[in-house]
Structure 1
Amino acid sequence: MKLIPAIDLRGGRVVRLQQGDYERETRYDDDPIVLAKRYADAGAGLIHVVDLDSARRGGEANLAIIERLCTEIDTAIQTGGGVRSREDFRRRIDAGAERVVIGSLCVRDPGAVAEWLAGPDGARIVAGLDVAQAIDGGWMPRAAGWTESGEVDLFTLLERLVNAGLKHLLCTDIERDGMFAGPSLALYESVCDRFSSLAVQASGGIGSAADLVEVAQTGAAGCIVGRALLEGRVDLAEIQKWSR
């Protein structure tokens, strides 16, 4: 398993949101370029960058910074936020992103994403699915900043996307995101068991190095760590440890 540092951008600054709530934002003094270099120097093989402004309103608010990250940092960049059309996807690829995360569109229009997966850059698509547990214990994908629920459960949606060629999944338990509440281990274990061909990136709830060990045992290929790195709950040395 790889530790994947996360950088969330809003107004060009490094921030973190609690449970995706824009009103519960923590700002950090780090310059995103300097922070990314710090993660690269610590051994990161991939850095996850989220454009929160574009995720909320569409467009390419922080695309210039993302392009700088792609060109100035000697580490692959995975980026998401606001990818709502083929043109949005293409702009991020042209900016130099190694992978592009597509979230709400997977939930709202999986047919369109399936078409992109069949294209020349399909292997660079990451389905970014934010999920909430239903009363029956199943997992339902959410869209539009977690305000809309999908029409089908997580496994049904993944079945369609995997059959279309999906190779990468970033899955977040929205109840745990940014809360240091521990990772949703049963969720990741069930996804990895059912879709063995998927490289699953676990996201949400990481608060300690011990959490990383537990996530690795689920079969996840990667673990997104944002706030815990920024606030020192997970030491930078863990990046190198999980890069082997």
Structure 2
Amino acid sequence: MKLIPAIDLRGGRVVRLQQGDYERETRYDDDALVVARRYADAGATLIHVVDLDSARDGGTANLAAIEQLCREVDADIQTGGGVRSHEDFRRRIDAGAARVVIGSLCVREPATVASWLTGPDGERIVAGLDVSPGPEGAWFPRAAGWTESGDDDLFTLLERLVDAGLEHLLCTDIERDGMFAGPSLVLYESICARFSSLAVQASGGIGSSEDLNEVAQTGVASCIVGRALLEGRVALSEVGKWSR
């Protein structure tokens, strides 16, 4: 398992939201380039960058900052937030992103994303699915800042996307995001058992190095860590440890 450090951008500044709530924001002093270089120097080979402004309002609010990271940081950049059209996807690729995360569109228009998966750069698409538990142990993807639910449960949606060629999944348990409550181990075990071809990125709940050890046992390919790294709950040395 690899550790993927996360940087969330709002108004060009590094922030973190608790459970995706824009009213529960924590701001950090260092700018994105400083933070990204720190992670790259620690051994990160891939850094996850979220454009929170574009995620909420659409557009390319922090695209210039993301392009700078792609150009000036010695690590690949995976970025998401606000990808609502193929043009949005291409803009991120053209800015230098190694991978592009597509979230709400996967839930609202899975056929559209499926068609992109078979086209140029389809292997660089990451399905970013934020999920909440439902009846009988099922999980349901949410869209539009977690205010909408799609028609399909998580596994039904994944069957469709994997059949179209999806290789990468970033899955977040909404209830644990930014809360240091530990990773959703049962969720990741079930995904990895059902979809062995998927490179799964665990996200949400990491608050300690022990959490990393536990989520690594589920079979995920990587784990995204944001706030815990920024606040020192997970030591910077863990980046190199999990990037070898």
The one-letter amino acid paired with 1:73 is V
1:71-116 Cα shifts (integer Å, max 9, x gaps): 0001000000000000000000000000000000000000000010
Note the residue ranges of structure 1 that are not aligned, 5 or more in a row: none
**Structure 2 matches for 1:208-223, cutoff 5 A?**
208-223=208-223
- The residue type paired with residue 160 of structure 1 is R
Structure 1 residue 99 corresponds to structure 2 residue 129? no
1:16 aligns to 2:16 (yes or no): yes
SS in structure 2 of the partner of residue 136 of structure 1: helix
RMSD: 0.4
Shift of 1:30: 1.1
Q: What is the aligned partner in structure 2 of residue 109 from structure 1?
A: 109
> TM-score when scaled to structure 2?
1.00
Instruction: Tell me the distance in 2 between the aligned counterparts of 1:52 and 1:120.
Output: 26
Give the gaps of 5 or more residues in structure 2: none
Aligned to 1:197: 197
Residue number in structure 2 paired with 1:181: 181
2:49 alignment partner in structure 1: 49
Q: Which residue of 1 aligns with 2:148?
A: 148
Give the AA of the match of 1:239: V
User: What amino acid does structure 2 have at the position aligned with 1:69?
Assistant: L
Question: Secondary structure of 2:105's match?
Answer: helix
SS of the equivalent of 2:238 reads: helix
1:175 counterpart SS class: helix
Tell me whether 1:137 sits opposite 2:137 in the alignment: yes
Once residues 163 and 172 of structure 1 are traced to their aligned partners in structure 2, the CA distance between those partners, rounded to angstroms, is 21
Listed one character per residue, the Cα deviations across residues 112-154 of structure 1 (whole Å, up to 9, x for unaligned) are 0001000110000000000000132210000001000111100
Q: Distance in 1 between matches of 2:181 and 2:18?
A: 11
Equivalent residue number for residue 232 of structure 2: 232
Q: What does 1:20-39 align with in structure 2 at a 5 Å threshold?
A: 20-39=20-39
Distance 2:117 2:171 in 1: 18
After superposition, the C-alpha distances for 1:208-234 in whole angstroms (9 at most, x for unaligned) are: 000001111000000000000000000
**Could you tell me how far apart the structure 1 residues matched to 2:25 and 2:151 are?**
29
Runs of 4+ in 1 over 6 A off after TM superposition: none
Q: Give the whole-Å Cα distance in 2 for the aligned partners of 1:135 and 1:161.
A: 23
The one-letter code of the counterpart of 1:52 is L
SS in 1 for 2:176: coil
Structure 1 Cα separation of the partners of residues 110 and 180 of structure 2: 31
Structure 2 Cα separation of the partners of residues 188 and 30 of structure 1:
32
